Amino acid sequence: MTDDTVDADSDLGFDPAVSDRDVPTAARAARASKAPSSSRGGGLRSKVSRKVSSVLVLIGALAAVGGGYSLLAPSSSADQTALSAADVETGRQLYESSCITCHGSNLQGVQGRGPSLIGVGSAATYFQVSTGRMPAAGQGATNNRKPAKFNEQQTQQIAAYVGSVGGGPQVPTGDLRGNPQNISDGGELFRLNCASCHNFAGKGAPLSAGKVAPSLNNATDLQLYTAMLSGPENMPVFSDNQITPDQKKAIIDYIQNLKASKDPGGAGLDRIGPVSEGLLIWTAGLGVLMVAILWIGRKS
């Protein structure tokens, strides 16, 4: 155990190229030479304190240990015992003050209030809590994104606690952007797997009976990744067997670039396609011309 940690420590550190994000990056040999564009800022993660960093490093170390294995087969029950006992304990306390009412004292769930969390994994917990969906405001067809109740550190701690009970997909660490060369692959994968619900520009769309595929506008890299890993609400799970971690990163790279990209043709009209264009031609187009017609008519 100790050996693993030491090995990881010597292998992990801060990548100077991405230090503006203030996030420790698993400097894998392949990635260390690459300098990602500094424009890719992660809003939430920029506030992560150094203290959390050490937790992440620790989790990263674990990921590195099982890395080769997990690339080949999804590890749904990785050894969680190596997490800092103090963090798991803090997570348990947060859980017991905010989550226990609906999910039960042993995460077994409460009939009519909330499902069992045994085996959902830290990734699902991280997604739900960091997007503010949990704690839920109420039970409805869908849980909309709202301001998060917990900060990044607390979210990670709750996730660690939930993950420590029954295992499940874990919160990934390190750089979640793929090789920029792969952005077009990410686009193909996005159109194939994501656009059918989230729209071609990640604007989201309604599903049946009040359920919603949300907009990806505010999603961070980590939220996108954990969503794919855990399949929240109506979203399918995209396990590492279906979409490999590298492919997930390429998708994230495509989405975040798409969101940051400007519209070369002028106002983007919310990027929802012909409906907003139709609205504009009847108002700004024909509307302006009707005013012109009335003006000419008055002058006759």
- Dist CA 215 CA 198 (whole Å): 6
Q: Is 264 in the site for another protein (CB under 8 A)?
A: yes
Q: Is 35 in the site for another protein (CB under 8 A)?
A: no
For another protein, which residue of 38, 101, 106, 196 counts as binding (CB under 8 A)? 196
**Residue 248 C-beta: closest distance to another protein, Å:** 17
> Please, which residue, 110 or 136, has the CB nearer to another protein?
136
Contacts of 255 (CB under 8 A, 6+ apart): 186, 190, 194, 202, 216, 219, 224
Q: Which of 46, 69, 96, 282 binds another protein (CB under 8 A)?
A: 282
Would you give the distance in Å from CA 145 to the centre of its chain? 12
Other Cβ atoms closer than 10 A to 29: 7
Q: Contacts with another protein in 133-152 (CB under 8 A)?
A: 141
Nearest Cα neighbor of 253 from 37, 46, 22 is 37
Of 31-39, 105-113, 155-163, 270-278, the window that binds another protein (rule: CB under 8 A) is: 270-278
Residue from 94, 213, 219, 224 that binds another protein (CB under 8 A)? Answer: 213
From CA 58, how far away is CA 148, in angstroms rounded?
A: 24
* Residue 29 interacts with another protein (CB under 8 A): yes or no: no
Rounded least distance, CB 91 to another protein, Å: 33
Q: Which stretch binds another protein (CB under 8 A): 3-11, 78-86, 150-158, 181-189?
A: 181-189
Neighbouring CB atoms inside 10 A of 171's CB total 25
300 part of the interface to another protein, by CB under 8 A: yes
Can you spell out the DSSP letters for 96-142?
HHHTHHHH-TTS--BTTTB---TTTHHHHHHHHHHTT-SS-SS--S-
Q: Of the ranges 37-45, 131-139, 153-161, 260-268, which one interacts with another protein (CB under 8 A)? A: 260-268
In the complex with another protein, which residue's Cβ is closer, 103 or 249?
Answer: 249
Q: What is the per-residue DSSP string for 130-150?
A: HTT-SS-SS--S-------SS
How many other C-beta atoms are found inside a 10 Å radius of the C-beta of residue 80? 21
24, 60, 178, 187: which one contacts another protein (CB under 8 A)?
187
Amino acid at 4: D
Q: Would you tell me which residues interact with another protein (CB under 8 A)? A: 141, 183-184, 187-188, 191-192, 195-201, 203-210, 212-213, 254, 257-258, 261, 263-269, 271-275, 277-278, 280-282, 284-286, 288-289, 292-294, 296-298, 300
